[in-house]
């Protein structure tokens, strides 16, 4: 799932850093109930383990990043997902993020043996919140 603009005011583990965001809380609850593992897609840190070391709040997003910047970011994300063995055959990668966090990543996943699902693709913010509310 992607990081959010709303963050705590002090260094926190990734699962807690984005706690002020209702969307993050709902996506996290859904992921914890429905997925074996989950990670945070961070504009600054790429792939974060939710129980990883505390990190400082930051103010970076991919929402206004150029295609080239998002492609470079996606390459780093791909490397980190590969290192975590997330892209292994038989796995399903479920992306809970806005389009700017997966649009340039998807082409890099085309030739990987992992299945990719984006359950909230095309939904607006309110629709996405409703989607999670109906499932948690």
Under the banding of pLDDT at 50, 70 and 90, the label for residue 36 is: very high
Instruction: List the structure tokens of 17.
Output: 């850093």
Cβ neighbours of residue 78 closer than 8 Å, sequence gap 6 or more: 87, 105, 108, 109
Q: How far apart are CA 97 and CA 89, in angstroms?
A: 22
Under the banding of pLDDT at 50, 70 and 90, the label for residue 39 is: very high
Q: How far apart are CA 67 and CA 65, in angstroms?
A: 7
The model's pTM:
0.92
Under the banding of pLDDT at 50, 70 and 90, the label for residue 66 is: very high
- Asked whether the beta carbons of 82 and 75 are under 8 A apart, the reply is no
Give pLDDT, residue 105: 98
Give pLDDT, residue 122: 94
């Amino acid at each position: 799932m992607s990081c959010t603009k709303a963050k705590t005011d002090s260094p926190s583990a990734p699962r807690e850093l984005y706690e002020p965001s209702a969307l993050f809380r709902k996506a996290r609850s859904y992921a914890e109930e429905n997925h074996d593992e989950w990670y945070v897609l961070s504009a600054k840190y790429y792939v974060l383990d939710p129980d990883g070391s505390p990190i400082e709040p930051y103010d970076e997003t991919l929402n206004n990043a150029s295609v080239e910047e998002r492609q470079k970011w996606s390459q780093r994300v791909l490397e980190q997902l590969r290192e975590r063995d997330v892209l292994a055959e038989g796995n399903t990668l479920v992306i809970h993020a806005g389009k700017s966090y997966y649009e340039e990543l998807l082409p890099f996943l085309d030739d990987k043996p992992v299945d990719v699902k984006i359950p909230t693709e095309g939904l607006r913010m309110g629709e996405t919140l409703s989607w999670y509310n109906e499932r948690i």
